[in-house]
Amino acid sequence: MKKLVTYAVLLSIFALGSIQANPVFAEENEKVFEGREHHGNLEDHLEYLQKKAKELGIETEGKDVKQLAKEVREAHLKKHAEELGIRVEGKGLEELAKEIRETRILQKAEEFGIDTDGKDLEEISNEVRKTILIKKAEELKIETKGKDIETLAKEIRETMLKNDADELGIDTKGKTEKELMMEVFEKKLLQSAEILGIDAKNKTPHEIMEEIRTNYEEEAKEQKLFPFDEERHFYFKGHKERMKEMPSDNLKN
């Protein structure tokens, strides 16, 4: 019988550690291990959570996976807040997460030369997102004139997906965007596994993801291998409803 790997499982690949990557996309990424929007089974991530807990100096003995996930998220948020110069004493997790997002958005706005005077955070966030998308569209030679942000984001995602499929030798004819995305993900996973020396035979996509995260995370990040490549948020953004489930059959070598 086929199991199902949920969107949340895919998203959780980079939920802990991607807050600093892109402030516009990061806010929904870090929800997974908080418990909100988690449709997968945390037990499937126990080994990874134990690794993260050890890195963060958290005692794991006698704690169930839900408690461990909560403590890992809390420690990660506090660590990242301190790195950004945010005072953590006396603040709850929601307040810290909000301040982290605000700080990163303002940093990006400054980096892009966006005038923030008289604007609220959501206005600034939208301008940051627009700038990121326009830069990406120009890189992909996509016409931006007269297009709203959602249309542009969709075209970027579709173009990147098609480019990846072509590069990976995947036939796109007659396939839905979701089907094509799954094929691209699986091929990218197999490529990462091969580069990292992981035996992918008879393993599901989920099992390979977990092995990469648990045993090869730093190496994969250093080489910018999937699922730690910098482009991943362009795939996920806009797919919260369309990517609820994916089959986790054994990958074929």
Residue 210 predicted with pLDDT over 90: no
Task: Tell me which of 41-45, 52-56, 109-113, 119-123 is least confident.
Answer: 41-45
Report the mean per-residue pLDDT for the chain.
Answer: 79
pTM of this prediction? 0.72
Phi, psi of 66 (to 5 degrees): -65, -45
DSSP letter at 32 equals G
Q: Does residue 239 register a pLDDT over 80?
A: no
- Domain parsing of the chain, residue ranges: 4-247
**Whole-number Å distance between alpha carbons of 157 and 193:** 24
Least confident stretch, 35-39, 177-181, 212-216: 35-39
Q: Is the pLDDT of residue 241 over 60?
A: no
Region 128-156: mean pLDDT is 92
Amino acid identity of residue 172, one-letter, is T
Is there a contact between 246 and 40 (Cβ–Cβ < 8 Å)?
A: no
Overall average pLDDT of the 9-31 stretch:
43
Give the pLDDT score at 213: 86
Cis amide bond preceding 227, omega within 30: yes
pLDDT of residue 235: 55
Q: Please provide residue 6's backbone torsions phi and psi, each rounded to the nearest 5 degrees.
A: -80, 165
